[in-house]
A = this chain, B = another copy of it.
């Protein structure tokens, strides 16, 4: 929806270096800063622009205001052979997330599967990053997080849940992996925001106004309304999207002791704090299954290849090129951006330059993006 003629291209490498420098400026240890930058890079690389450097200013604000601990000590609160609860010590989600995911993967190595619920953490980037990590070790990963309230439960007239994503990935042998990474809302908030800026209406089934009535005017969602859950209304399964979002909320937060539902603290200084606190920070949930805990991994991957080819060969719906495989669009984008770099909008560049000025690091000074 954005006008690409306005954008300026930056390489993944320079964006990653800049993110790393910013995190280090606030005292984040180098290794952690690189890890955090890697997670943002995964979003920029895969075309999920809302979760890459476009969000760096939020991290900047949260760090500079002291709302995030740059040097957290992660604590395992409770564990069994295949499960653990981790307190993220209010660190960057971009650091607490990858480290907690590693604990899940380590447990899987020994017990066949590993499951980690995390409290006292913050925005962790794209859910897909974590399950792509699991693929490196022949693990099937699962990744979930809660987030600031934006979505109404079906038949509700207010924001009560985050867009609460679910990710899982399956490796192929000759085919690239199937990568599932979906928000449990009907649509991403970014799309409503962009329509608002462009003065456009949105399709029916995306949003409700403050009375809980379906509307097509983005402003009415922003002024006390909400996003609808996946499925939109009762007739089309909105109760299912709500239930999936509830599942994510409970596994990430109730199980870990984080703030669930409407009590998730916002990841910005510009929104009011929730009316009460029911835990610590937000929550994530990570899982990993060893493929060879179930089946020979090569046999699994051969079947995944067959699955992918079979679904690609589905008779196409009129006017389409036929079904995609989950992860296709992001992989296509990654191919392009790895070579061509990442187009950034003027507003994003301006945010990054503000950060550059404040932390005394140069950013794209040889470009003509303002």
Contacts and interface: CB of A to CB of B under 8 A. Distances in A.
A153 interface: yes
A250 interface: yes
A211 to B, nearest CB: 5
Looking at A155, A255, A314, which has the most chain B CB atoms within 10 Å of its CB? A314
B154 A323 contact: yes
Given A153-B323, A178-B246, A183-B240, 16 more contacts: A82-B293, A83-B289, A115-B289, A115-B294, A153-B311, A156-B315, A157-B318, A160-B310, A182-B243, A203-B235, A205-B236, A230-B231, A230-B240, A236-B236, A255-B295, A278-B303
B324 A81 contact: no
A34 to B, nearest CB: 30
B250 A212 contact: no
Nearest to A212: B317
Contacts of A347: none
Contacts of A183: 240
Contacts of A246: 178, 180, 311, 326
B208 A307 contact: no
Interface string A73-109: 0000011111111000000000000000000000000
Give the size range of A's interface with the partner. 35 or more
A254 B306 CA distance: 10
Contact of A242 (B241, B279, B323): B323
B158 A211 contact: no
Contacts of A240: 182-184, 230
Looking at A154, A213, A251, A254, which has the most chain B CB atoms within 10 Å of its CB? A254
A239 B113 CA distance: 28
Contact of A300 (B155, B235, B255, B310): B255
Contacts of A306: 278
Interface of A: 78-85, 110-113, 115, 117, 140, 152-158, 160, 166, 168, 170, 178, 180, 182-187, 203, 205-206, 208, 211-213, 230-232, 235-237, 239-244, 246-247, 249-251, 254-257, 260-262, 278-279, 289-295, 299-300, 303-304, 306-307, 310-311, 314-318, 320-324, 326
B153 A314 contact: yes
A218 to B, nearest CB: 15
Contacts of A318: 157, 211-213
A168 B247 CA distance: 8
